[in-house]
Structure 1
């Protein structure tokens, strides 16, 4: 029996809480500088025939994680997994992680690595107790990285082969400027040397204005070739996606890009892999 389609990466936020420091009302971000809630996404999920979602943190605060869990507690939200946040470098990180792990819908954590000035922060020895606790409790790690952080992520993954990890947004290649290397070689090494998975999400946002499936194809084909259909999962990155187009446009482009795969392989990327990775029943 099919698990159905899963959006493996989406967000909700409310500006009133003032913990989204990155979300400024600039011309570049104006389209998403407002509140986004389940009632905004529901009709898009209906149109796209999405059965479940993975709700991912967008603020480096435990308060936001608590709010996301409150949303996910309503079965009508269709949220079946939450990726939260806590400070992995904190002295009491193991205690905090253990407390969060008591929440049935907490399936993973995500440090906002792309915003940190040190590209090798993930290799800091202060994180070891937190990573050990996550591994013992069966939590996953989302790696929000850019190309200049891929090498550090590879080293980290080799250190922690038992911790399930997934690269968000294909590590954000610079599609807008047509930069294929060194991203392509670095992500290939990561895929070959580790068991890390990767999300087919966020790529339209990296492609700039007037993108189409053809602009994304070299990058998507490379990810399919290197990770294979069993280590890829589809996500929308909504509402950040609104900066690049509509939910329907991204889904249509994704289906076009995956059309060369078998029906089973497409099913894996569009739902089964996310269900397995995040433990969605």
Structure 2
């Protein structure tokens, strides 16, 4: 995880850094089942596809939003049709007897697009699910194929996550949304100690994403600052990457509002690491080298 990023030549011939949104969703509720949407804000209970993001031209990684392998294939199709999509974090039934074959099939179907797998751990009733031995083969397969494990967890799951990581040295793991701390109620201490323990594993990174939507009603955006500071204190500037979590983000802010706020926070808490957080780290961790050099125009 060296944090070196892609760049592209501008019209004058010099290199410009590529901004990578490491956590973007597109979904089509007319063709796939997204059970969690039934309990989501009404504004999210519709389809969100590439035209809906408007003039945003940042490169991105698409992340699954349904526990369905068909959605991963759908995201592959979108990635092939949409400029700037660098990779897909998909879903697979990790406890299936043929989980390794399913993962390998997705690798083949993605033709280079699959860069990670994300089980929807936060929605599984068993908070110790990640520690089940039945998952060992699937996690070994991710590690052996160089795929990232995106950990959609909160504080309830961090003990099991730590247990899982000890069983798979070298498994590249990215903690989504900083493990969803309870920012609304300012519950800092338990989360802070647990995420710091996870950060001690060198192959674990963290996404600076999804935090505004965890704030209290009224969007007290300043409430996220101590949590962001602790993320950088724990992981350092070379193991944190920015993500929009669009369109979930739109319940609290626009894409550009969150990006500008995140840039200010990085300048404050991780000076000199802005290029890494906004592209270089994602390039390194998700093995995107080479893809960023063929992008079209980015914002």
User: The residue matched to 2:116 in structure 1 has which SS?
Assistant: strand
| Aligned: 1:14 with 2:28 | yes
The RMSD of aligned alpha carbons is 1.5
2:185 — aligned with what?
177
User: The residue matched to 1:81 in structure 2 has which SS?
Assistant: strand
Structure 1 CA distance for aligned equivalents of residues 186 and 268 of structure 2: 23
Structure 2 CA distance for aligned equivalents of residues 177 and 120 of structure 1: 24
2:166 — aligned with what?
158
Taking a change above 3 Å as real, the CA distance of residues 248 and 99 of structure 1, as seen in their structure-2 partners, is: same
Q: Comparing 182-191 with 211-220, which one deviates more in the overlay? A: 211-220
TM-score, structure 1 length as denominator?
0.93
**Deviation sequence 1:82-110 (CA, Å, 0-9, x none):** 00001010001111101111221001100
**Deviation sequence 1:126-165 (CA, Å, 0-9, x none):** 1111111111111111000011111111111121121111
User: The residue matched to 2:232 in structure 1 has which SS?
Assistant: helix
Q: Which residues of 2 match residues 219-234 of structure 1 at below 5 A?
A: 219-234=227-242
Paired residues of 1:57 and 1:65 also in contact (CA < 8 A):
yes
2:129 — aligned with what?
121
Structure with the bigger RCO (C-alpha within 8 Å, sep 6+) is: 2
Q: Comparing 185-194 with 85-94, which one deviates more in the overlay? A: 185-194
Structure 1 CA distance for aligned equivalents of residues 16 and 284 of structure 2: 12
Structure 1 CA distance for aligned equivalents of residues 19 and 175 of structure 2: 20
Q: Which residues of 2 match residues 63-212 of structure 1 at below 5 A?
A: 63-76=70-83, 78-102=84-108, 103=110, 104-212=112-220
* Counterpart selection for 1:33 from 12, 37, 45: 45
User: The residue matched to 1:86 in structure 2 has which SS?
Assistant: coil
Deviation, structure 1 residue 202? 0.2
* Counterpart selection for 2:68 from 61, 64, 78: 61
Q: Comparing 78-87 with 204-213, which one deviates more in the overlay? A: 204-213
- Alignment: residue pair count: 273
Taking a change above 3 Å as real, the CA distance of residues 137 and 63 of structure 1, as seen in their structure-2 partners, is: same
Structure 2 CA distance for aligned equivalents of residues 144 and 105 of structure 1: 20
Paired residues of 2:229 and 2:269 also in contact (CA < 8 A):
no
2:254 — aligned with what?
246
| Aligned: 1:23 with 2:37 | yes
Deviation, structure 1 residue 31? 1.1
Structure with more helix by fraction: 1
Which consecutive residues of structure 1, in runs of 5 or more, have no partner in the other structure? none
Taking a change above 3 Å as real, the CA distance of residues 135 and 2 of structure 1, as seen in their structure-2 partners, is: farther
TM-score, structure 2 length as denominator?
0.87
Structure 2 CA distance for aligned equivalents of residues 193 and 139 of structure 1: 17
Which consecutive residues of structure 2, in runs of 5 or more, have no partner in the other structure? 1-14, 291-299
Q: Comparing 99-108 with 190-199, which one deviates more in the overlay? A: 190-199
Paired residues of 2:232 and 2:270 also in contact (CA < 8 A):
no
Structure 2 CA distance for aligned equivalents of residues 59 and 226 of structure 1: 30
Structure 1 CA distance for aligned equivalents of residues 60 and 246 of structure 2: 11
* Counterpart selection for 1:273 from 278, 281, 285: 281
User: The residue matched to 2:273 in structure 1 has which SS?
Assistant: helix
